[in-house]
Structure 1
Amino acid sequence: MANIVILRSAFLLFLSMAFVIQIAYAGGEGSLRPEQCGSACDHRCSATQYKKACLTYCNLCCNKCLCVPSGTYGHKEECPCYNNWKTKKGTPKCP
């Protein structure tokens, strides 16, 4: 009986952790809180050779849009605000 209770508790903990990770990286405008931007941008910029610039603009965009697309590249359609924010020259502002 004790084993069932332990297994059930572990399963519920796993589900809650998976839900938090899904919210943090699944994208969707407004899905992040400002304090989550740092870790989401660390993941987003992990594969670039221009890490400092990527982190700067990713955090700027995340704080405005409260969203970071999943993965390290692409998937910007998940966050319309992030995708549509442009520089004065019309190029994408957000990495």
Structure 2
Amino acid sequence: MEGRGCFLIIIFVFFCFSQVLSDFDFEADEDLPYNLHQVTVRGGNRRLMQSIDCQGLCGVRCGRHSRPNMCLRACGTCCMRCKCVPPGTYGNREACGVCYTDMTTHGNKTKCP
């Protein structure tokens, strides 16, 4: 009887792991400039955070800016907070959502380039 109980527990645990693994989609989108499926766990109870190359993406974003150092500093801050950098060198800010579009400076100007 004890062997049967252990067997049922093992089957139940295996079933739970298979359900968790089936929720993940491991296909990569080739249209994106970074890999969304590269995730980092921060602490036991925290949600999964995507890890992106802010320095590289902001370098592309600020490559043609008239003040590249200021642009890189602001873009880096926005990227770290919002985990997103819009495509292209100008515009497309709505692609990163409200976190990126609603961030403002102390002077109430838009912060993110």
TM-score normalised over the length of structure 2: 0.56
**Per-residue deviation, residues 63-88 of structure 1 (Å, max 9, x unmatched):** 00000011000000111211110112
Whether the 8 Å contact between 1:41 and 1:59 is mirrored in structure 2 is yes
Distance 1:24 1:89 in 2: 32
Gaps spanning 5+ residues in structure 2: where?
1-27, 36-48
User: Which aligned runs of 4 or more in structure 1 are off by greater than 3 angstroms?
Assistant: none
Greater helix share, structure number:
1
Alignment counterpart, residue 24 of structure 1, candidates 25, 34, 49: 34
> Greater RCO between the two (CA within 8 Å, min separation 6)?
1
Alignment counterpart, residue 63 of structure 2, candidates 33, 39, 46: 46
Greater strand share, structure number:
2
Distance 2:82 2:90 in 1: 17
TM-score normalised over the length of structure 1: 0.66
1:82 corresponds to which residue? Answer: 100
**Per-residue deviation, residues 37-88 of structure 1 (Å, max 9, x unmatched):** 0111000001112000000010011000000011000000111211110112
How many residue pairs get matched? 72
Aligned-pair RMSD on alpha carbons?
A: 2.3
